A and B are shown apart, each in its own frame.
Chain A
Amino acid sequence: AQKVTQAQTEISVVEKEDVTLDCVYETRDTTYYLFWYKQPPSGELVFLIRRNSFDEQNEISGRYSWNFQKSTSSFNFTITASQVVDSAVYFCALSEARNSGNTPLVFGKGTRLSVIA
């Protein structure tokens, strides 16, 4: 069975601090995909990144970086030099590969990040 755990319910940081959001997943499949989505106060989920299970390279996009480690089943997300606009709920999600296409997303409960000016 698929499961995504985001142990941090809420995090509060002061602007310009770095912050890491944790994500631990469970799956029996060898081929799967991991995602991060951002849900700002407006409510619409915004896609941030997709990672497949065969690609363990870390990725950096501007102030965002992601650390994927299969050995610990983790896919952590770091925001460097946080800004007030980063305040949102962040969700980690998992999808397994099938011949007919990916399974629907299984989401964690989310981490609410508050960046204080």
Chain B
Amino acid sequence: DTGVSQNPRHKITKRGQNVTFRCDPISEHNRLYWYRQTLGQGPEFLTYFQNEAQLEKSRLLSDRFSAERPKGSFSTLEIQRTEQGDSAMYLCASSLSVESYEQYFGPGTRLTVT
């Protein structure tokens, strides 16, 4: 049974560069979520998809951030013109869309912007 996977696990980039992260959810899960976690804080919601449709975006998701899930399977999160404040752990989770189902998280991508 394959869980949620994320790549890369670590990314170091210089300020102003663009970065892209990938998330592969559990295969039968039609919901996919992106969260961001900074040191000492709980994860904060960024956006989520049901199949290929992006259903909600948080106010945290500035216009430098874009997420896609083109075929309703894997998803990508791109950050353009990175800033030092973007340094965080980016977490992906997936679930079934049936009410009450729990979300299963991937290992995260740790982004460091220098």
Contact = CB atoms under 8 A, between A and B. Distances in A.
Interface of A: 4, 33, 35, 37, 42-47, 50, 52, 91, 93, 97, 100-102, 104-110
Contacts of A110: 40-42
A104 B40 contact: no
A35 B101 CA distance: 10
Interface string B70-93: 000000000000000000010101
A107 B106 contact: no
Given A44-B108, A50-B100, A101-B31, A109 B40 contact: yes
A105 B99 contact: no
A44 B95 CA distance: 16
Nearest to A42: B107
19 contacts: A43-B107, A44-B106, A44-B107, A44-B108, A47-B105, A50-B100, A91-B42, A97-B100, A101-B98, A102-B99, A102-B101, A105-B35, A105-B93, A105-B103, A107-B42, A108-B42, A109-B40, A110-B40, A110-B42
B107 A104 contact: no
A44 B35 CA distance: 13
A33 B101 CA distance: 9
B100 A33 contact: yes
